[in-house]
Amino acid sequence: MLCKEPLRFTINTSTPSSEANPLYSVSETIDGLKWKIEVYRDALDGFYVFRLECRGPTPISGNWLWSCNALCRFDIISDNINIYNYSTSISGTLNSCNHHSHHKMVTLDHSFLAKESFDVEIRLYTFRLWKLNMQQKNHSSDIEVIVENRRYFVSKPLLQIQSDYLKQITSTGENPLTLPNILRSTFLPFLLFAYPADVRINAANVRDYLQIASSFQSHAMFVACGEFLSSYELMSTVERLRLAHGYNMPAVVQKIVNDQSETDLKALSSTDLPREVKRMLRYRNLELGYGDCQLDPSAIIEID
C-alpha cells in the first residue's frame, strides 16, 4: 500500500493550477519504484484532475511484465455548513514503467467552483506483480486478443472457465479476436485475477472487481468477492449488504444476515436498505423468535 495514512489537503479554488503547476504534489519511493501524486485543475473545463505517475526499473525484456494496480478514493470531507458525499475511485493497471494515468473528477458538482476552498481526502492502494509477459507468445497461449490496439496472447480455455462472456465470444473460432467494447483498464485487472497470481480482494478493490465480474460475467470473481463480503467485518454491514444485493448475490446477503445478533438486526432494520434485504431481516428476526416488535416499523413489509 502506497499511503499508509490518507492524504488530506485543502484545495483553494481561486489558486490557478495546471498539469505543469499542480495544486498538490507528493512523491514517495517504495521498493525502488518512484510514485508521484498530483492534483490540478483543467484549464478548459474547470474540472479537477488526479494524476498518478510511476517510474521504475525496466523489466527483464521478453520474459516478464511488471504490473501495478492502483486504486484511489476521493472524499470531500465537509465544511462548516454542509457535508458533501462526493466519492469516486479509479483503478487500472500500469503495465509499463515510466507510466502515468489521469482521472478527471467530472462528477464533482459545479457548486464547488463557487466555494473558496474545500477539503479532500485521498487513499491510494497499490500492489505489484511479476508474471509472464502476455504480450508475447508462450507455451500456454492459444488465442490472440486485441484490446484497444494492444495484443495479448492468452489461454482460451482459461478465459472460458473464468468468464461466461468470453466463453461466448471466443467460441466463434476467430483468432485474433478483437474486443471493441472492453477497455484495457478493465481487461488487465481481469487477467491478473484469472491467471494464478497473488491478487487479493479487499475493501479498497472489491467494488471495482464486482464491476469487472459483472462486465465479464465471471462466476469465479463473483465467488471471491462474495467470500470477502461474507467475512470482512471491518467494512460496515450496511455497505456489505448493499454491495451483495446490488450485484444479485442473495446467498451472500443471507450469510451476512444470519451472522447478525438481535441488536444488530434491530439496528439494521432502521437503515435505508433495499426492500428485499429488509424482508430477509424480518424472516431472520422471526426465525430467531425475537418477534416483529423488536424491529423498526419500517422493516415490516407486506409479503406477496
What's the pLDDT tens digit per position in 74-126?
444 444 544 444 444 444 444 444 445 555 555 555 555 566 776 666 655 44
> To the nearest whole number, what is the mean pLDDT of the chain?
70
CA distance 295 to 262: 9
Give the distance between the most distant pair of CA atoms in the chain: 68
Q: Are 77 and 120 in contact (CB under 8 A)?
A: yes
Name the least confident of 35-39, 122-126, 238-242, 299-303. Answer: 299-303
CATH code for the part of the protein at 7-132: 2.60.210
Name the least confident of 22-36, 101-115, 230-244, 277-291. Answer: 101-115
CB atoms within 10 A of CB 78: 12
pLDDT score for 110: 56
Q: Are 12 and 116 in contact (CB under 8 A)?
A: yes
Tell me the three cell numbers of residue 32: 525502488
Give the model's confidence band at 137: pLDDT under 50 very low, under 70 low, under 90 confident, else very high: low
Q: In the predicted model, is pLDDT for residue 8 greater than 70? A: yes
Give helix 237-246 / helix 262-269 axis angle, nearest 10°: 60
What's the pLDDT tens digit per position in 53-64?
666 554 433 333
Task: Kindly report, as residue ranges, where domains of CATH 3.30.710.10 are found in the chain.
Answer: 143-225
CA distance 129 to 152: 17
pLDDT score for 165: 87
Edge-first strand order for the sheet with 87-94 is 7-12, 117-132, 64-76, 87-94
CA distance 89 to 149: 25
Task: Kindly report, as residue ranges, where domains of CATH 2.60.210 are found in the chain.
Answer: 7-132
Q: In the predicted model, is pLDDT for residue 212 greater than 80? A: yes
Using the structure block, give the residue that is written with the C-alpha cell 409479503: 303
Burial of 124 (0-12, 13-18, 19+ CB in 10 A): buried
pLDDT score for 10: 78
Q: How far is CA 133 from the centre of its chain?
A: 24
Give the model's confidence band at 241: pLDDT under 50 very low, under 70 low, under 90 confident, else very high: very high
Tell me the three cell numbers of residue 177: 479476436
pLDDT score for 65: 35
CA distance 44 to 112: 16
Give helix 250-258 / helix 219-231 axis angle, nearest 10°: 10
pLDDT score for 114: 62
CATH code for the part of the protein at 143-225: 3.30.710.10
Beta strands 64-76 and 117-132: pairing type? antiparallel
pLDDT score for 175: 87
pLDDT score for 292: 52
Residue 212 CB partners (closer than 8 Å, separation 6+): 186, 189, 190, 193, 218, 221
Q: Are 74 and 88 in contact (CB under 8 A)?
A: yes
Q: In the predicted model, is pLDDT for residue 220 greater than 70? A: yes
Q: What is the dihedral of CA 122, 97, 196, 90, to 10 degrees?
A: 30
Q: Are 145 and 176 in contact (CB under 8 A)?
A: yes
What's the pLDDT tens digit per position in 246-264?
998 888 898 898 888 888 8
> How far lies 21's CA from each of 219, 259, 291, in Å?
45, 51, 62
What's the pLDDT tens digit per position in 149-165?
888 888 787 788 778 88
Q: In the predicted model, is pLDDT for residue 224 greater than 50? A: yes
CB atoms within 10 A of CB 20: 6
Q: In the predicted model, is pLDDT for residue 208 greater than 70? A: yes
Mean per-residue pLDDT, 212-238:
82
CA distance 178 to 182: 9
